[in-house]
Structure formats: structure tokens, C-alpha cells
Amino acid sequence: MGLAMTLMLTLVATFGYTALHQAKQIEQTFHDFFQHPFTVSNAAGQLRYAVTKSQLILTNQLQSLTPSQHYGFHQNVETLNTDINRQLQIIQSQFLGDMDKIHQLEKLLEKWQKYEMEIHLLITDQESEKAKHLFQSKMVLLNEQINVLTDYILGFALNKAKQYESKAMQSSEQSTRLLTQAIMLTLTVIITILGYLIWYFYQYSERVETRALTDKLTGLFNRAFLEAELPRQFNLADEETSSVYTMQVIDVDNFKQVNDTYGHNIGDQVLVTLANELKHHFRKDDIIVRWGGDEFVLILPNTSEIEALAIAESFRARLEDMPIQTDKGIIYFTVTIGISEFLLSEPIKQAFERSDAALYQAKQRGRNCVASYKSLTPQSDH
């Protein structure tokens, strides 16, 4: 029982650990799913914002640029380049899509830095119109490339979000299924354990009851069983029929002498032999009981006293000629039997007293014989 419970609980614990481990993996996957696309899309948005903002600022500066403002224009361009590079690094480190568009933007940035130097030289040479024209044309190209990249990234992020939504639903269903399986397995184990405990205690109570109603030496029922069984049969019997029962009280002749001569072990062997012969000789419906000591009681349903007398005589004669092989040689034993009819409705004590009276009469005749209660004279009844 202990081993079975340990194995079942181990199985539940293993299954539960597996379910928790898978749930943790799902949680980590969700974290990765929802972190990267939105981190990248945020960087793309920041990139677009930085370029648009810088384009407005630089355009306004070029409109009213004086020599004293050359340094401020250059600083703003450097700020723009720094913002672009920072956001590109974020995108490159976490983007899971096509990297060609990023490489194209990087090449364009390299060219932009060269153009920025040209613009700076034009401004220094007081050729502001040429500088403005070159800035606007190259800025348009840069802006277009950044728009292409950010549109692609945002579209990619949106597509990923839809995929992750679908995966989230699948993972939710999987988690629910795992949880359901774990609960069902736990309930199955609990029900199995409870069923086993019920069966075990039922078997145990049956064994206890059997031991209480069984003679340990012979394996026959004992007196307590007979006192409970006859009233039960009476309750089950048809009230309109009054079946006749016969009780036989069987006593081993000179049993004390057997014990004194051969020892109690051989005396027990005689009793076991008699019990086995009773089991083999009589019907399944007959009730065989060891009443106590060397006395046995036999109940024969639907049997008259005359019929029981013939049955008892046949059994007595069989035992008379049956040798018993012991460690002290072959021995023989005989029995004396008293018989009486009775009804299930009457107390068992009365039936036993009549059969016991017949047994006493048989012993008075010299033992190793059978006597019925109806054959007794009033003087012989005790």
C-alpha cells in the first residue's frame, strides 16, 4: 500500500513539475515575443521623429544663417547623426527581420556625412543657396530611406504582434490543457487511493470477521457463527414453509485418553482429520461447526431425523475403519453421534439440548454408535 501511494504521488509530482516548467517556458517566450517587436518599433519611431525634427530645425537655420551660426548648424547635424546611430544600434541588436534595409540606410548615412561636409564648406564660402539646395535634396533621400525602414519595421512589428496573439491563444489553451490533465491525474490518484483504502479495510474487516467466526485449528466455523447463522436463515426462509432441520452432535470417543496416550499434537491431528472428513462427506448446504473441545455440530437442512440417522451411521462406520498415520504409528478413533429434529424458529439452545441428550444415550450404550432424540425413553432424557 505504501509503495503504491509513493509511486502515485511521485507520478503526480513529476507531472506537476513538467507542467510548471512548460508554463515558465511559455512565460519567457511571451516576454521575448512582446519585448523585441515593440522595442524595435519604438526605436524606429524615435528615428523617424529625430530626422523629421532635425530637418525642420536645420531648414530654418539655413534660411537665416549668418557666419556666427555656422557652429550651431554643425552641432545640430552632429546631434542628428548621434540620434540616428543610437536608434539604429537598438534596431540592429533586436530586429528579427530583413537586415538589408538597415544596411542600405547605413550606406546612405555614410554618404550623408560626406554631403554634410560639403554643405558646411558651402556655408563657409557664403554660398548659402547652394548649401540649402544640397541639404534639402540629400535630406529628402535620407528621410525617404528612413521612412521605408520605419514603415517596414512597424509593419513587421504589427505582423509579429498578430502572430504572438495567435501563439498566446495556443499557449493559453496548452496551459489550460496541462492544468486540466494535472487536476484529472491528481483526482484519479486520490480516487484510486481512496478505492484501495476502502477495499483494504473491507478485506481487513472480512478477515477479522472470518477469524472471529472460524476455528483456528480445523478451519471450520465455530459456535458463534452457528448462533448467528441460524437466525439469519430463519429470516430468509419462506414463512409459508416450515423446513425441517436436523442437528447432529458428534463427539470423539475417549479423546482425553488419546491426548494422554499420544500427546496433544496427535489429539489435534485426530480433530483435523475428523473436520476434513466432515467437509468431504456432507453437502455444501450443511453447516459444520466445531462446538468446542472434541465436540462438533452438524446442521442438515431439509432432512428428517430418520434420514439423518442413516447419514450419521454411514459416516460413523466410515471413521471407524479409517487409519490415521502419525509419527507414533497408525491409530484409529471412533465417534458417538446424537441426533434431533428442530425448526429454525426455535432457540438453538433447545435443539442442542435434545441432540446432546441423544448423544448421552448413545454413550450409555457403549459409544461408537448413533442415537436419535425420538428413540429416547422419558427416563433416559437428561
**Hey, where are the domains in the chain?**
2-190, 221-380
**Diameter of the chain measured on Cα atoms:** 161
Distance CA 289, CA 337 (A): 14
pLDDT over 70 at 65, yes or no: no
The per-residue pLDDT for 83 is 73
The per-residue pLDDT for 323 is 94
Average pLDDT over residues 5-22: 62
First to last CA, the chain: 57
Q: What's CA 301's distance to the chain center, in Å?
A: 49
Query: Coil, strand, or helix at residue 1?
Result: coil
β-partners of residue 298 are: 248, 288
With CA atoms as reference, report the closest residue to 293 among 215, 371, 372: 215
Please enumerate in sequence order all residues whose Cβ is within 8 A of that of 315, keeping only pairs 6 or more positions apart, or say none: 277, 278, 281, 282, 337
Please enumerate in sequence order all residues whose Cβ is within 8 A of that of 205, keeping only pairs 6 or more positions apart, or say none: none
The per-residue pLDDT for 168 is 64
The per-residue pLDDT for 62 is 64
Query: With bands split at pLDDT 50, 70 and 90, how would you rate the model's confidence at 75?
Result: confident
On whether the pTM is more than 0.85, the answer is: no
Average pLDDT of the chain is 77
pLDDT above 90 as % of the chain: 31
pLDDT over 80 at 227, yes or no: yes
With 0-12 CB in 10 A as exposed, 13-18 as middle and 19+ as buried, what is 206?
exposed
pLDDT over 80 at 314, yes or no: yes
With 0-12 CB in 10 A as exposed, 13-18 as middle and 19+ as buried, what is 23?
middle
Query: With bands split at pLDDT 50, 70 and 90, how would you rate the model's confidence at 380?
Result: very low
The four Cα atoms 290, 291, 296, 297 give a dihedral, to 10 degrees, of: -110
- Beta carbons of 245 and 344 less than 8 angstroms apart: yes
CB-CB neighbours of 240 under 10 Å: 5
Please write the tens of the pLDDT for every residue from 253-311. 999 999 999 999 999 999 999 999 999 999 998 999 999 999 999 999 999 999 999 99
- Beta carbons of 285 and 327 less than 8 angstroms apart: no
User: How far is residue 263 from each of residues 311, 330, 335, measured CA to CA in Å?
Assistant: 31, 14, 19
Higher-scoring residue by pLDDT: 117, 270: 270
CATH number for the domain formed by residue range(s) 221-380: 3.30.70.270
Query: Which one of 181-190, 236-245, 317-326 scores highest in mean pLDDT?
Result: 317-326
pLDDT over 50 at 379, yes or no: no
Please write the tens of the pLDDT for every residue from 323-377. 999 999 999 999 999 999 998 888 889 999 999 999 999 999 999 999 999 988 5
Q: What's CA 205's distance to the chain center, in Å?
A: 25
CB-CB neighbours of 40 under 10 Å: 24
The per-residue pLDDT for 176 is 73
Looking at residue 183, its amino acid is I
Q: Is the dihedral of CA 271, 274, 278, 280 positive or negative?
A: positive
Higher-scoring residue by pLDDT: 318, 67: 318
Query: Coil, strand, or helix at residue 245?
Result: strand
The residues annotated with a catalytic role in the active site are 294
The per-residue pLDDT for 238 is 60
CA angle 262–263–265, rounded 5-degree value: 115
The per-residue pLDDT for 129 is 73
Distance CA 219, CA 225 (A): 12
Strands across the sheet containing 221-222: 221-222, 287-292, 295-301, 245-252, 335-342, 370-372
Characterise 263 by phi-psi region: left (phi > 0), alpha (psi -120 to 50), beta (else).
left
The per-residue pLDDT for 381 is 47
Query: With bands split at pLDDT 50, 70 and 90, how would you rate the model's confidence at 251?
Result: very high
Characterise 275 by phi-psi region: left (phi > 0), alpha (psi -120 to 50), beta (else).
alpha
Looking at residue 103, its amino acid is H
The per-residue pLDDT for 6 is 64
The per-residue pLDDT for 226 is 86
β-partners of residue 297 are: 249, 289
Average pLDDT over residues 200-209: 64
The per-residue pLDDT for 146 is 72
The per-residue pLDDT for 373 is 94
With CA atoms as reference, report the closest residue to 39 among 94, 109, 100: 94
pLDDT over 60 at 218, yes or no: yes
The per-residue pLDDT for 345 is 83
* Grid cell at residue 111: 554618404
* Grid cell at residue 51: 530626422
